[in-house]
Structure 1
């Protein structure tokens, strides 16, 4: 099952994608797609619905993030060995965990807003995990049972804020628009092997990232179990899991970063594609 939210920003309606990729309006059944949607019982109820019984949405509406993010937006850094190498950073012995502010979340095709003084805004195609059940101190063997499904994430990052301004990474990861999510949420039963999904990203039509979730240092069960040792996980929490090589700061001999009017496109197998135009913040 694939869930979407469609409509103007701040006025999105819940929807379901049918087998023909037609959006079916769920607003007669749900008020929104939020944390309560991702519990096992709620997802089971939605999966029992025949999409053909729901109204088809006409036209090509804007897509918002496929869930209203009210819980935690967590992230894992340097989770691909060759990405750590291109960043000239040591291979982590444990997952590197940081936070992205909920206020950075945006739709999959909304603009990336470059901060006024930003000179090093970068891209990162990533697999996002959506939690479906509350849990803490989980064992790896049980961790997937707490996962509802997956989303595509662009972990947009301002590298100077992240690495040159002291403190934690969070301030380089949380600017407005730095968390495009979607186009859809997909339940884990439709993914198959989550550790074998191809992924890619292009800037202005030039391929920058090509990878596969098979090359993660820490796989999905390890990440979920690990984070649960430090904080309780709740339905609707999102964990974005790191990026393969090819980010702007790793380009040799001169790094390349996003500029106004650049176009970023990215995708992960079975999770759809995103497209973002870059604009400068104007107040």
Structure 2
């Protein structure tokens, strides 16, 4: 077991899931440690993400805990076996940890769903639009800090461009589409970019017009990242103090339902593209 100086959200999630498996098996930490051939102290370090854990040890723990969900065991072993450092590590000294956790979450997600009412989706923002957004951060960011955040946001978008792109479906309210961040020229370039991305097979942009009126989830920015199995899905809420990640089963169910209802309220994909085209022509 290897020690880590800073546990990422992904490592913390693995540790939490292993603890859940033990607790569901009705084993104390001492009993579980004996069953897998380690000490209770080492097991505690694994369950708190102070130590990393190998894929083989994860499988041994799952067997000791009588876990019969092979898909979940395989997914957890995959999380443990992936020791590669992602591109986001280059930003560790210049950005808040929460933004790096978000990058890692998106990188590993099997599919992404988001919903925005006042902002463009981060994965669809142009650099000029993002730069305007970060200039409004309180407390104010320095020019270098702004550029670090802009480059990080654009780098996150690689999940939509790689050889095996991540399926992405986003709900955008008309208010976000009409806001002229950075003036008309920047706004036109932003709308044009969203429209071009919406034409991709793996990207779906669904618009909720003003005419809809009230709808579930209004006022929230929501992200939903699908894991290799549903138990490892994660909800991302975008707050002014940084990203908040949720993974309790009840929370996952709540936000799946909320996104489903928001999508039912929105225009279909083709009507949404035509809606954006109309806004672009009139801008």
Q: TM-score, normalised by structure 1?
A: 0.29
Q: TM-score, normalised by structure 2?
A: 0.29
Instruction: Name the one with the larger helix percent.
Output: 2
Rg larger in 1 or in 2? 2
Where relative contact order (Cα < 8 A, 6+ residues apart) is larger, the structure is 1
Instruction: Name the one with the larger strand percent.
Output: 1
